Amino acid sequence: MGAADRVRAYYDALRAGEALAPFFAPGEDVVKVGISERLVGGEEVADGLRQQTETTTGWSVESRDLRVTERDRHAWFADRVSLAWTDTDRQIRYEFDTRWSGTLERREADEPTDPDEDEQTDAAASDERWQFVGMHVSTARDLG
């Protein structure tokens, strides 16, 4: 599985309400910035993603311009994504045009992965896997 496939698999898992933590590398240097939060460190990212999965439903993730550059053990991506979901606590539907960017690192089978082994997906269990080490999602609204 290449890095572009990994990004698409993340989008699919988000749509399906599946565990997202296995897509992120462990460690304190991992950063995920969303529309309304900044999560630092593998544990905080995993906790934030678990909470997101538990309190949202009906995800729509429409990639409009995915671009991925892959090198030996690192890759970076950018995309424009139409994003929508329902907050189950507030019963509010959110819709945004967003910009995504991030960095992935390819991990070998013997390198540490997500500590929640029960949350591993088939894609995360491959001998070589790409994991996000940084992700940034922001709204694409003009200032003018």
CA distances from 129 to 67, 71, 101, 113 (A): 19, 13, 19, 10
Rounded Cα–Cα distance for residues 97 and 62 (Å): 10
Cβ within 8 Å of residue 120, ≥6 positions away: 22, 113, 114
Residue 121, sorted as left (phi over 0), alpha (psi -120 to 50) or beta, turns out to be: beta
Binning the chain into helix, strand and coil, the percentages to the nearest 5 are: 25, 40, 35
Mark 2-28 as b/e (b = at least 16 C-beta within 10 Å).
ebbebbbbbbebbeeeebbbbbbbbee
Whether residue 18 contacts residue 52, with contact meaning beta carbons closer than 8 Å, is answered with no
| pLDDT of amino acid 93 | 96
pLDDT at 141: 73
Q: What is the pLDDT of residue 121?
A: 46
CA distance 113 to 138: 27
Per-residue pLDDT of the chain (144 residues; tens, 9 = 90+): 899 999 999 999 999 999 999 999 999 999 999 999 999 999 999 999 999 999 999 999 999 999 999 999 999 999 999 999 999 999 999 999 999 999 999 987 665 555 444 444 444 444 359 999 999 999 977 655
Quote the CA–CA distance of 141 and 144 in Å, as a whole number: 9
CATH number of 3-139: 3.10.450.50
How much is the pLDDT for 66?
Answer: 98
Tokens found for residue 4: 């572009």
